[in-house]
Amino acid sequence: MSLSFAQREKPADYGIKSKKALEFFLEGREWTRVRDYVKAAELFKKAIELEPDFGDAHFALGESLWAKKKYEEAIPHFEKTKSSSRAGLFGILNALLGDCYYYTSQYQNALECYSDYLNNPKGLKIYQDNAQKNLPKAQFAVTAIQKPVSFSPVNLGANINTVGREYLPFLTADDNILLFTAHREETTGGFSLEHKDYPEDIYFSEYKDQKWQPAQNIGAPINTAEYEGAASITQDGKVVFFAGDYKNGLGNYDLYYSVRANGKWTTPINMGPEVNSDGWDSQPFLAPDGKTLYFSSRRRGGVGEKDIWVTRWENGKWTKAQNLGAPINSLGNEQCPFIHADGRTMYYSSDYHPGFGGDDLFVSYMQEGQWQTPQNMGYPLNTSANEGNIFVNTKGAKGYINSDRKGGYGLDDLYEFVLDERFRPQISTFLRGFTRDSITSVPLACRIKLVDVETGDTVRAMTSGKGDGRFLKSLPMNREYAAYAEAPGYIFTSKHFYLKDLTEDIYFDLTISLLPLPPPVLPQEPVKPIKPVVVILNNIFFDYGKYELKKESYVELSVLLGYLTQSPKMKIEIQGHTDNTGSEESNLTLSQRRAESVRQYLLSNGVAQGRVTAVGYGESQPIGSNDTEAGRAQNRRTAFQILEM
């Protein structure tokens, strides 16, 4: 690109002497107009070599570097311009220099530049809008950086990280399976000529022998030669949700899911038009309740550019996705939603809410059914770089992120760290085990639900594995739960979990055994005596020495009521039992009255009188030792026996 400037512009016009320097400068300016900032920068540097105080060339070079987001390199050139006699000619100088300071963590300098610029704004409106957006962020950062959070990340090591990119970590509820997305040379399909890169694939690792094992590609049918990524795994490790960029999708990325069945992943299923759009849909995460899916999307009808949306599993299908709205979403980009096991703490990233530059990590807490104003998670967890996502484990003490910080193995590595207490969620634990037939010990696929006995809300619902009967689910601490396991042809089983005032490290490994229902008697057969089948009702509560049902009992009683409704010919005996504290006569009376209280509840809710009897057995049938408090607690129980089917 050749230029003739002799008749139009002279070196003296710019306060310089070198014609060659001016020639380099003007040619660089032409390359800038066609947005070739690399070529332009080379020419501006040549001009500066000849004329070190060439203010216009310094500004032009700074602007080219700013356009390529090389903020640190741009600063000395903008500063040189600002100290020159021609500084007043560049109305957007403080706007651009403010950006450079802001994105290199020089927040006080950024604040001053943005303020000076907005006092006398010049140039395109986009510069004014950007300065107005970043000014309160710089003000926030100046204050927040004075109160740093605890943050000491530890690299997950060579079994997880490579010279490529590893990002978006997710763990199962017991921290034993790690799922993440990666760009690696060995990804499925190899190098993509179309994208000039290796496609994204989904990987996993197991935690064994106190370390993460070598990561493995999750394989077909999930990973293909196309792009799969932004994956999350459910708490029990049985379902993977991910984004796929497939030619037959609804948009350029759609949401899919695959289920682990009989040791293999099923063919991924597109979540359909109620969830996906013709835009970009990615970063799905299924909340701990097992029925609410959050994801990020760039589509029509949003608040900003990328927003967080939500869909719910109702009546056997996903509902039409809804925008989460303010205060979570903004005019910028909100991404990577993650709901902690406590069900009330959301972590996500945003480039708009007050922060330190780029994408910052935020936390929001749910109160009275509404997400509250998000809080920035602080410096140095957040920096002027992009912090894209965070996962916090069930117990709420450890966080996992991806970062391209120095000292790693590659472009982006996975790290773990102890989460600052200021941003920890409610402490949670997990429930793990398997369900089986109580007689044959054969694994059963059961429906399991956990109910908060104080509110009656179903907090968790899950299904144990068809082949192995296994289940795994998180539970918020400091609550009292009733757990129910049901399967066709079996009597429901209940458990009770009191998770108040317990240590943080407690969790539950248990086996749930279900009794088969007695076989039905055919009309032509004589009535056969039923082998006694007694089921303990673990969530029926009375005050000490009293027989009035406590309201916490209604959860279990409603389950029993539903069970009787489903089996209209069943007849049962409600049994009351006590320990040996007090006289035998008073215990017999108390147990009878307690059994009657349960019977009256059932009768008042529509069960025919002839189907339910009540018998108090007092202290006569202990199942534990009355010499210990634990044994006496076992003996104080309510149960029912099936008399007739």
- Does a cis peptide bond (omega within 30 degrees of 0) precede residue 327? yes
Domain residue ranges in the chain: 11-144, 154-423, 427-516, 520-645
pLDDT at 507: 84
pLDDT in tens, 133-161: 999 999 999 999 999 999 999 999 999 99
pLDDT in tens, 583-631: 999 999 999 999 999 999 999 999 999 999 999 999 999 999 999 999 9
Angle at 248 between CA 243 and CA 254, to 5 degrees: 20
The pLDDT mean for the chain works out to: 92
Distance CA 460, CA 130 (A): 44
Distance CA 485, CA 243 (A): 33
Residue 5: band (very low, low, confident or very high) from pLDDT cuts 50, 70, 90: very low
One-letter identity of residue 560: L
pLDDT at 6: 45
Backbone angles phi, psi at 144, to 5 degrees: -65, -30
pLDDT at 262: 84
Distance CA 633, CA 166 (A): 51
First to last CA, the chain: 95
Distance CA 155, CA 429 (A): 25
Q: If we measure between CA atoms, which residue out of 281, 327, 287, 285 comes closest to residue 306?
A: 281
pLDDT above 50: residue 441: yes
pLDDT above 90: residue 378: yes
Token couple for 54: 């060439």
Are 170 and 179 in contact by the 8 Å Cβ rule? The answer is yes
What does the CA dihedral 115, 120, 126, 132 come to, rounded to 10 degrees?
A: 30
pLDDT above 80: residue 466: yes
pLDDT above 60: residue 1: no
pLDDT in tens, 77-115: 999 999 999 999 999 999 999 999 999 999 999 999 999
pLDDT in tens, 20-71: 999 999 999 999 999 999 999 999 999 999 999 999 999 999 999 999 999 9
pLDDT in tens, 474-533: 999 888 999 999 999 999 999 998 888 777 678 888 899 999 987 765 566 665 556 678
| Furthest CA-CA distance within the chain | 120
CATH number of 520-645, picked from 1.10.3720.10, 3.40.630.30, 3.40.640.10, 3.30.1330.60: 3.30.1330.60
pLDDT above 80: residue 361: yes
Domains 427-516 and 520-645 share a fold: no
CATH 1.25.40.10 fits 11-144, yes or no: yes
For residues 393-412, give the mean pLDDT.
90
For residues 223-232, give the mean pLDDT.
91
Token couple for 97: 């220099």
Q: What percent of the chain has pLDDT over 90?
A: 81
Backbone angles phi, psi at 132, to 5 degrees: -65, -30
CATH number of 154-423, picked from 3.40.50.2300, 2.40.30.10, 1.50.10.10, 2.120.10.30: 2.120.10.30
pLDDT at 423: 96
For residues 361-369, give the mean pLDDT.
95
For residues 217-245, give the mean pLDDT.
94
Angle at 290 between CA 288 and CA 294, to 5 degrees: 75
Which superfamily, per CATH, for 427-516? Carboxypeptidase-like, regulatory domain (2.60.40.1120)
